[in-house]
Structure 1
């Protein structure tokens, strides 16, 4: 399959490779996000050693690493059957034969946390080797891992022996919606937006859909059908990531079905708020749940547990807990068409409204980077105050410039009353210069288009414009 997207990540890795000094680069991100594919694509055309660490004993891991290093020409292979320890194994990286074009030696260790779990001394061993040998060699060593909390606490934190040694740190996030759309080049813009609302930007999920089938067929055949990869994906990942998957399932179901405040989630799950906060923090660490604050909230408010709203930030998890989990009994009996007809299809556009808001916010961020908003914003997000809410707001650093946006993922054109309502709500926000953006799946009425043509503060963006 053709490699898609990741231009910024590849540019970063290329810059590390081109650096004249030795490089120790940490690449991490949640499972399925495409780290391995990214690094494999980066390594293509370069002499390299790519070691995918198995979840195995220390001896088995050393044996596997030895085989790859010796195959790459490591000199110890002439007199050893296997490295005796990690110090000897990693020190041999500096002794790999010079590359054919004289460029640096590239060694990638995927799932590095597996090695550390089998040998807790490994970070200290690597720190000693880096300080005394590797940092003065012509080497680019990449450590990659899916265990986000492990990487951040055991590799990057101040308590880690490797603290301060990394010359580059790259967290790989899900793809933006415009790259996700490239998986479905024959889809029209509404179908691309709906697919993103269901799958999000995780390449593994996007690759499961057949680009030659429509969205409805893909959902029925590749999510709702028992035995399909995406049908069991969430349960597999929950078992991989957490020791108490049943508890996390309960929490995620509550959030997916509308409980967004800590007290509401606690009531639905019948869990104490203090204990619940720990579980939610773990879900945030792996990018399944996000905690959202009004765009004008002060940073000090972000630290208070009772503030903010919790939402499923992963679109596919949100879809799975909204439609698959509640209908599991029927789906296990093979009633795919019934679940689609009575549960999924009637609610799908309403479900897609929230992901559509995120698409619109990302569109504004992209336009901001390109200098096309009319002012430079440093904050983009939702806003609410208990009496009103606005789908997306962009504010500049001074607070003088404000853009308020309304996002409508529905099958009728947006009309003037929606603009007037947005303008009224925007008066509740500070700002001396206001502009407005209306985003619509089904376009706009003629009278709204006429009004926007006469008023430069009104911007109309239909779904095709987003792509």
Structure 2
């Protein structure tokens, strides 16, 4: 089954219906569903689909020749190999002369690495031949730095040739509910906390009866696909996977600043910074700065990818039990009881996404929503605010907290928020919101009505 991506399909189909030449660039991190999107789009359309190989130029020419031959001769075997890339591109020109034809180059960075002239060759044929044709060209890639710099970037031969670009992103927590609609909202949230909205991971986790069974069978088992996934992905994307693994482990262990990460990994800050940039480009890590401030000393690193966050949180420390099959006996004590704590940061992101994407109750639309941390000038204590919404103009701010706990939230949380707001900004008007997995006390509910505090439960953020 193919779920979601209605917006992306609409963009692609609208351009297909236009009838003229198109060059659509599709990119995004691995496993996010780019190829599935393209396959869904190509249903019932004439298409030459070429998936580039991480191999030599000649091997890629052979594979491309075979893709063209199979389009011309669906039942044919023994595909001839064209003498060069110009010849196969000319053949595609001829095939698209009298019909609308989709030509897909999946994993384009592999082809560009193997045949360095391919971008220039495509530029030449687009400018002189294809721009007046009915060809629908799709260039797809998982290396986001390559696609953004070498395909979309100003210095690329292909700069200005694309007619549309689509960055395929992870699904939101709400979109994910279509995969396993039978799950409770708490299990839906946990599934998102484990897979991060990556469709491939949702399918591999394969929750049939319970999240616990799925995690034990399809993640915390040495024979499972997801158990090996972080290591395989690092090997596939990076030249020194062991060093990147050490860096991710350091961040997962609490190191959040460059000097802390460098100290834990025994790298210099300069070298560590280079590796961190790679992990940022892969969207495994992210940088965060207190909202409203420029990047600087208070910038921190944390794990952006939920699956990596889950794996590095629970697998390394339990590796012995997993390897010997004892994890089933200690799962409840070693892992499950820690889910509420683990889900804290995940829940914060869900709440911020809800406010930006779905909420219609806010009295103003924040230009940006993030978190803030700093020192209270009066108490000299460290303060962290889960939600701060900054207005596009004016002096009205949104201040909020997110609690993923098994008890109801009471008035004390609201009073704490008020003190935090004063630490964040002395002047300004504040609107307050509180999110709670387990609901609110009667006292807070009554006070919220009087004070205009917005209270949200899991049911609210899932739109129920």
TM over 0.5: yes
Aligned to 1:275: 271
User: Which one of 349, 358, 366 corresponds to residue 358 of structure 1?
Assistant: 349
Is residue 400 from structure 1 mapped to residue 399 from structure 2 by the alignment?
no
8 Å CA contact retained: 2:205, 2:219: no
Q: Which moved more, 1:254-263 or 1:15-24?
A: 15-24
- Please report how far the alpha carbon of residue 399 of structure 1 lies from its aligned counterpart in structure 2 after TM superposition: 4.5
Instruction: Output aligned runs, 1:261-340, within 5 Å.
Output: 261-297=257-293, 301-302=294-295, 304=296, 306-340=297-331
Cα RMSD (Å): 1.9
8 Å CA contact retained: 2:217, 2:224: yes
Instruction: Give unpaired runs (5+ residues) of structure 2.
Output: 376-381
Instruction: Give unpaired runs (5+ residues) of structure 1.
Output: none
Is residue 9 from structure 1 mapped to residue 8 from structure 2 by the alignment?
yes
8 Å CA contact retained: 2:107, 2:142: yes
Is residue 175 from structure 1 mapped to residue 161 from structure 2 by the alignment?
no
8 Å CA contact retained: 2:399, 2:417: yes
Local SS of the residue matching 1:283 = helix
Instruction: State the alpha-carbon separation in 2 of the partners of residues 91 and 451 from structure 1.
Output: 73
Q: Which moved more, 1:16-25 or 1:201-210?
A: 16-25
- Please report how far the alpha carbon of residue 396 of structure 1 lies from its aligned counterpart in structure 2 after TM superposition: 1.1
8 Å CA contact retained: 2:434, 2:455: yes
- Please report how far the alpha carbon of residue 12 of structure 1 lies from its aligned counterpart in structure 2 after TM superposition: 2.4
Aligned to 1:151: 147
Aligned to 1:411: 406
Local SS of the residue matching 2:424 = coil
Aligned to 1:434: 430
- Please report how far the alpha carbon of residue 269 of structure 1 lies from its aligned counterpart in structure 2 after TM superposition: 1.5
Runs of 4+ aligned residues of structure 1 deviating over 4 Å after TM superposition are: none
User: Which one of 373, 395, 408 corresponds to residue 384 of structure 1?
Assistant: 373
Residue deviations 1:252-282 (CA, integer Å, cap 9, x gap) = 0111121112222122222211111111110
- Please report how far the alpha carbon of residue 159 of structure 1 lies from its aligned counterpart in structure 2 after TM superposition: 2.4
User: Which one of 418, 433, 458 corresponds to residue 463 of structure 1?
Assistant: 458
Local SS of the residue matching 1:177 = coil
8 Å CA contact retained: 1:186, 1:211: no
8 Å CA contact retained: 1:73, 1:97: no
Aligned to 1:373: 362
Aligned to 2:46: 47
User: Which one of 188, 191, 200 corresponds to residue 192 of structure 1?
Assistant: 188
Instruction: State the alpha-carbon separation in 2 of the partners of residues 383 and 15 from structure 1.
Output: 41
- Please report how far the alpha carbon of residue 69 of structure 1 lies from its aligned counterpart in structure 2 after TM superposition: 1.8
Instruction: State the alpha-carbon separation in 2 of the partners of residues 159 and 329 from structure 1.
Output: 50
Cα 1:380–1:215 change in 2 (3 A) is same
Q: What is the aligned length?
A: 451
Residue deviations 1:388-427 (CA, integer Å, cap 9, x gap) = 1111111111152211111001100111110111122112
- Please report how far the alpha carbon of residue 97 of structure 1 lies from its aligned counterpart in structure 2 after TM superposition: 5.0
Residue deviations 1:162-219 (CA, integer Å, cap 9, x gap) = 1221121211121111112222200111111111112211111111123322111111
Instruction: State the alpha-carbon separation in 2 of the partners of residues 153 and 57 from structure 1.
Output: 22
8 Å CA contact retained: 2:65, 2:82: yes
Q: TM-score, normalised by structure 1?
A: 0.92
8 Å CA contact retained: 2:97, 2:133: no
Aligned to 2:127: 131
Instruction: State the alpha-carbon separation in 2 of the partners of residues 250 and 453 from structure 1.
Output: 49
Instruction: Output aligned runs, 1:167-246, within 5 Å.
Output: 167-246=163-242
Q: Which moved more, 1:310-319 or 1:326-335?
A: 326-335
8 Å CA contact retained: 2:284, 2:308: yes
Aligned to 2:379: none
Instruction: State the alpha-carbon separation in 1 of the partners of residues 80 and 53 from structure 2.
Output: 19
8 Å CA contact retained: 2:96, 2:135: no
Instruction: Output aligned runs, 1:61-80, within 5 Å.
Output: 61-73=60-72
8 Å CA contact retained: 1:106, 1:139: yes
Instruction: State the alpha-carbon separation in 1 of the partners of residues 198 and 254 from structure 2.
Output: 23
- Please report how far the alpha carbon of residue 343 of structure 1 lies from its aligned counterpart in structure 2 after TM superposition: 2.2
Local SS of the residue matching 1:207 = helix
Instruction: State the alpha-carbon separation in 1 of the partners of residues 92 and 396 from structure 2.
Output: 54
- Please report how far the alpha carbon of residue 434 of structure 1 lies from its aligned counterpart in structure 2 after TM superposition: 1.7
- Please report how far the alpha carbon of residue 19 of structure 1 lies from its aligned counterpart in structure 2 after TM superposition: 3.6
Local SS of the residue matching 2:335 = helix
- Please report how far the alpha carbon of residue 156 of structure 1 lies from its aligned counterpart in structure 2 after TM superposition: 2.2
Q: TM-score, normalised by structure 2?
A: 0.92
Instruction: State the alpha-carbon separation in 1 of the partners of residues 144 and 108 from structure 2.
Output: 12
8 Å CA contact retained: 1:327, 1:339: no
Aligned to 1:89: 88
Instruction: State the alpha-carbon separation in 1 of the partners of residues 207 and 334 from structure 2.
Output: 24
- Please report how far the alpha carbon of residue 365 of structure 1 lies from its aligned counterpart in structure 2 after TM superposition: 0.9
8 Å CA contact retained: 1:55, 1:114: yes
